[in-house]
């Protein structure tokens, strides 16, 4: 069905394609071929409709809450893509007649989605169809479509219905009230829809232009308006061998668009109509070329990578990750963040998780620091929501929501989830209440950003406050245990969500400790070196008093240690005492979560089984806290018990395998992670792509194989290429400089391209190197 080696020559390893149509698997290509630009994302449903399709149009940050019983979600706005086509009375439908030469493909380099086939009807009539579409990376509001129909052996009466359809819902939930519809100049369609609770106006505009054999031509047309829908019926005759071409240009703007400022709906209508009119006059090809150039300069030249591998797929996989990381990220607006499914599906409701900070952000930090900063500013601006959550729970400081949407929403995790096979009721989702490590993850990301970029301005304005406010939360969260005279963190869910209501989850305790320790160090530093900032934050957060408390409590936080006999760190207070069962069946699954076919969550809670990396994630983040022996012993203990039921699991395991010196295992895990979306499983991406995993794939390559790491502010470059790779080239930004890293079997070459800094220090196998211009280090550790 899917083909990942279609491209050749200049398109080699740039193309993903579907070579036959199967209506059972519509979700696969809708998701993995989704188009977007960070402002919007449009699932790649086919032009003609099929039962079971998911037609989604999302605009980042336009959250709405349908009612009090549901959580805020990203609404599914009006569809602009669908076209109903009729040729000589037959409605285009790929399940009828015969299809030849079917190909649907996404070109990752240009961001264009193309589909072509010959349709042979039972009557013997034959038609060629070609569809193209793109979403502009230059004009964030613009979608272009081009459709060509050629009757090969007959004259044909062709009818097309096309327009703006606001009848869509989020799985039944209608987030919009009916708005105005209008036709301008007998040509330009406009539909307004307004979200019911957040009152965001969406302005959708569309124009159609036809040609026959390259000659502009106006078919007969009839305008229709319906509930939440405005559309044209076009009617025309096309002779045998002629090409009917339709160019459809659409735009979306909303009242949340920052560049529009505070304007009235009337003005917004005029602006958006004028915008469409101006842009569409350029035509599909010109608009498309503009976008292709932006892909080339802003994406591929900026952070493209070169991989020489025995398996061509590896290069494609990293490009696929780059493509999606680009289109999922609302880099244009620091009030917005990335959803766990990007903008590619309704899964996780457009909400932001720790997926951003721990899995996706490293890519941005090292590849485009400005975008990383924007994503962290979002966390700063959502402090109000974090304060609200802390308050509601009786804590101090900033307690970040497990799931986050609009800035001041606070916690938006739904409360009820999947079916409980034992009770028949819905399972309660505890993560919104007690999965608290997110608050440390955000702090961790801030420091990582600072260390890699040295962006003092960000820290002074946002970063330090965020570090102190999160430490304040953890300090208030600690619980004194009279029994062992230490501070505990009880009743949490750690990263491993198959263990609920546990005490002293190692990941959570260590990361809380780290947050407080790091905050304390920075607070002392500010007090000495940046008096005015210290004073400002002291006034706001009562720092002087907090610092005393942090100092006093830090060393009393209980940090689970490796057990003497086997070096295993207890994941929480009770994990190691739980029963062990044979997990082979669930480990070898193609689908995730099959253990729930046999047990409910309560029962899973009592088994030594993990959903995903937990202690392993801790080893990755705080690598210098643990020795290699401890890491290896825990890998051997926990990995066999980990089902990798979350897509966040494999990439962390891969980076750790690299750290532990097993590049072949690291490679196998990287490969597995890259096939989560880009593999042969036709159902795994139905609800959307796996954003964190795509960021994780980048980390497997750069932090794992490339061996890039920052440790206490020190850059380390220690590559470990997998056996079947002969070359890896990638850029990283370090303290504002762009470095080019070239790794081969023999050596690593690091070059400073921008040379803002005169010297860059880095470590390689415990040797300190100073990079001025270019440096070559042989893998046997000698410098050339």
* Interface ranges with ligand BGC (CB under 6 A): 340, 348, 353-355, 402-403, 413-414, 417, 429, 431, 495, 497, 611-612, 646, 648, 692
Give which of 751, 697, 600, 706 is closest to 314, Cα–Cα: 697
Least CB distance to ligand BGC at residue 431 (A):
4
Distance, CA of 390 to chain centre: 27
Helix (H) or strand (E) holding 743: strand 737-744
CA distances, 527 to each of 219, 533, 540, 543 (Å): 74, 8, 15, 10
For residues 136 and 693, which CB has a smaller minimum distance to ligand BGC in the complex?
A: 693
Least CB distance to ligand BGC at residue 678 (A):
17
Joined together, the tokens standing for residue 146 give 């081009």
How far apart are the C-alpha atoms of 530 and 382, rounded to whole Å? Answer: 25
For residues 62 and 647, which CB has a smaller minimum distance to ligand BGC in the complex?
A: 647
3-state SS, 354-395, equals HHHHHHHHHHHHHHCHHHHHHHHHHHHHCHHHHHHHHHHCCC
Give which of 345, 303, 348 is closest to 321, Cα–Cα: 303
Least CB distance to ligand BGC at residue 610 (A):
10
Least CB distance to ligand BGC at residue 592 (A):
8
Q: What is the sign, positive or negative, of the torsion defined by CA atoms of 232, 233, 234, 240?
A: positive
Give 561's contacts (C-beta < 8 A, 6+ positions apart): 569
How far apart are the C-alpha atoms of 607 and 201, rounded to whole Å? Answer: 50
Dihedral angle of Cα 367, 369, 371, 375, to the nearest 10 degrees: 120
Residue 730: left if φ>0, alpha if ψ -120 to 50, beta else—which one?
A: beta
SS3 content of the chain, % helix, strand, coil (to 5): 35, 25, 40
Give 551's contacts (C-beta < 8 A, 6+ positions apart): 520
Helix (H) or strand (E) holding 464: helix 464-477
How far apart are the C-alpha atoms of 55 and 29, rounded to whole Å? Answer: 12
How far apart are the C-alpha atoms of 589 and 408, rounded to whole Å? Answer: 40
Backbone dihedral angles phi then psi of residue 565, each to the nearest 5 degrees: -75, -40
Give 636's contacts (C-beta < 8 A, 6+ positions apart): none
Q: Which residues are annotated as catalytic?
A: 497
3-state SS, residue 45: coil
Least CB distance to ligand BGC at residue 424 (A):
19
Burial of 335 (0-12, 13-18, 19+ CB in 10 A): middle
* Cβ atoms of residues 562 and 555 within 8 Å: no
Dihedral angle of Cα 386, 387, 392, 395, to the nearest 10 degrees: 100
* Cβ atoms of residues 236 and 151 within 8 Å: no
Paired with 716 in beta bridges are: 709, 763
Joined together, the tokens standing for residue 456 give 């003092």
Task: Return the residue matching tokens 């409910």.
Answer: 600
Q: What is the DSSP string of 617-670?
A: HHHHHTGGGS-HHHHHHHHHHHGGGB---STTHHHHHHHHHHHTT-HHHHHHHH
For residues 611 and 720, which CB has a smaller minimum distance to ligand BGC in the complex?
A: 611
């Amino acid at each position: 069905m899917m083909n990942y080696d279609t491209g050749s020559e200049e398109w080699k390893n740039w193309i993903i394609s579907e070579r036959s149509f199967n209506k059972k698997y519509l979700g696969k290509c809708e998701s993995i071929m989704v188009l977007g630009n960070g402002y919007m994302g449009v699932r790649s449903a086919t032009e003609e409709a099929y039962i079971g399709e998911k037609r989604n149009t999302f605009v980042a940050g336009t959250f709405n809450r349908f009612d009090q019983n549901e959580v805020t979600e990203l609404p599914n706005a009006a569809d602009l893509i669908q076209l109903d086509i009729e040729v000589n009375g037959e409605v285009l439908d790929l399940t009828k007649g015969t299809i030849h030469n079917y190909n649907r493909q996404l070109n990752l380099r240009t961001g264009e989605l193309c589909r072509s086939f010959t349709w042979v009807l039972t009557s013997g009539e034959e038609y060629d169809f070609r569809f193209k579409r793109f979403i502009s990376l230059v004009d964030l509001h613009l979608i272009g479509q081009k459709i060509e129909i050629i009757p090969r052996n007959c004259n044909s009466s062709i009818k097309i219905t096309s327009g703006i359809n606001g009848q869509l819902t989020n799985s039944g939930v209608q987030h919009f009230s009916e708005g105005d519809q209008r036709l301008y100049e007998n040509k330009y369609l406009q539909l307004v829809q307004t979200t019911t609770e957040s009152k965001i106006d969406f302005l959708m505009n569309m124009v159609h232009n036809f040609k026959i054999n390259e000659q502009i031509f106006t078919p007969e047309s009839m305008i229709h308006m319906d509930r939440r829908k405005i559309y044209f019926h076009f009617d025309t005759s096309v002779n045998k061998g002629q090409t009917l071409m339709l160019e459809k240009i659409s735009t979306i703007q909303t009242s949340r668009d920052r560049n529009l400022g505070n304007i009235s709906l009337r003005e917004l209508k005029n602006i958006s109509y004028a915008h469409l009119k101006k842009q569409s006059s350029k035509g599909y090809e010109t608009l498309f070329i503009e976008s292709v150039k932006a892909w080339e300069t802003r994406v591929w030249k900026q952070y493209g990578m070169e991989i020489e591998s025995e398996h061509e797929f590896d290069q494609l996989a990293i490009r696929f990750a780059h493509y999606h990381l680009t289109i999922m990220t609302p880099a244009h607006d620091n009030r917005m963040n990335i959803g766990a499914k990007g903008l590619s599906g309704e899964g996780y409701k457009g909400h932001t998780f720790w997926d951003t900070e721990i899995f996706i952000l490293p890519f941005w930090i090292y590849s485009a620091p400005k975008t990383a900063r924007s994503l962290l500013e979002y966390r700063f601006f959502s402090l109000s929501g974090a304060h609200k959550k802390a308050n509601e729970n009786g804590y101090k400081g900033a307690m970040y929501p497990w799931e986050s949407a609009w800035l001041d929403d606070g916690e938006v995790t739904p409360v009820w989830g999947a079916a409980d096979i034992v009770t028949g009721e819905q399972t309660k989702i505890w993560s919104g209440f007690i999965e608290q490590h997110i608050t440390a993850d955000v702090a961790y990301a801030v420091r990582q950003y600072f260390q890699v970029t040295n962006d003092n301005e960000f820290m002074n304005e946002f970063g330090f406050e965020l570090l102190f406010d999160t430490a304040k939360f953890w300090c208030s969260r600690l619980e004194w245990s009279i029994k062992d005279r230490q501070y505990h963190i009880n009743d949490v869910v750690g990263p491993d969500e198959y263990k609920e209501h546990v005490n002293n989850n190692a990941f959570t305790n260590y990361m809380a400790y780290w947050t407080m320790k790091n905050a304390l160090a920075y607070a002392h530093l500010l007090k000495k070196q940046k008096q005015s900032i210290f004073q400002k934050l002291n006034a706001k957060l009562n720092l002087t008093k907090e610092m005393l408390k942090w100092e006093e409590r830090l060393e009393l936080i209980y940090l689970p240690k490796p057990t003497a006999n086997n070096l295993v760190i207890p994941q929480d207070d009770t994990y190691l005492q739980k029963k062990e069962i044979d997990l082979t069946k669930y480990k070898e699954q193609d689908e995730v979560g099959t253990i729930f076919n046999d047990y409910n969550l309560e029962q899973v809670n009592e088994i030594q089984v993990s959903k995903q990396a937990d202690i392993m994630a801790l080893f990755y983040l705080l690598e210098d806290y643990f020795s290699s022996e401890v890491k290896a012993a825990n890998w051997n203990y926990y990995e066999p018990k980990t089902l990798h039921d979350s897509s966040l699991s494999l990439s962390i395991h891969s980076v750790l395998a690299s750290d532990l010196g097993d590049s072949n295992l690291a490679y196998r895990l990287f490969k597995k992670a890259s096939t989560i979306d880009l593999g042969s499983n036709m159902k795994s991406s139905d609800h959307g792509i796996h954003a964190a995993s795509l960021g994780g794939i980048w980390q497997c390559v750069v932090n794992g194989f490339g061996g890039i790491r920052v440790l206490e502010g020190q850059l380390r470059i220690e590559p470990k290429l997998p056996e079947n790779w002969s070359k890896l080239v990638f850029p990283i930004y370090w303290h504002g400089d762009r470095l080019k890293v070239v790794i081969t079997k023999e050596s690593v070459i690091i070059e400073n391209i921008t040379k803002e800094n005169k010297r860059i220090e880095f470590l390689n196998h415990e040797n300190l190197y100073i990079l001025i211009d270019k440096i070559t280090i042989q893998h046997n550790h000698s410098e050339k």
